[in-house]
Amino acid sequence: MAKSIYQRRDCILNELMDNEAFYYGLICGIKIFQQKIITAHKRREHLMIDGNVYYVQSGRERLEEMIDKICK
């Protein structure tokens, strides 16, 4: 019984992988989330993922933070 569930899932995944629209949708979704992350960073807002708050730092911001810690 369980094997047939996995076979069906694999069949669906194979059909999706053959579908060009699926790839375009996947790429579009990734780009939307990238823009969401970049916008949150520019606005200095947090991102909420699975109930946890995250802030994104650029490399320059992270370097400034480390230098400030070392110089104190």
Q: Predicted confidence band at 3 (pLDDT cuts at 50, 70, 90)?
A: low
Query: 23 vs 16, 20, 26, 31, CA distance in Å?
Result: 8, 5, 5, 12
pLDDT in tens, 30-63: 999 999 999 998 998 988 889 999 888 889 999 9
Mean pLDDT of 58-72: 91
* Partner residues linked to 47 by β-bridges: 54
Q: Which of 58, 52, 22, 53 is nearest to 38 (CA)?
A: 58
Residues 25 and 61: their CA atoms lie apart, in Å, by: 33
Please state the domain extents for the chain: 2-71
Specify the pTM: 0.56
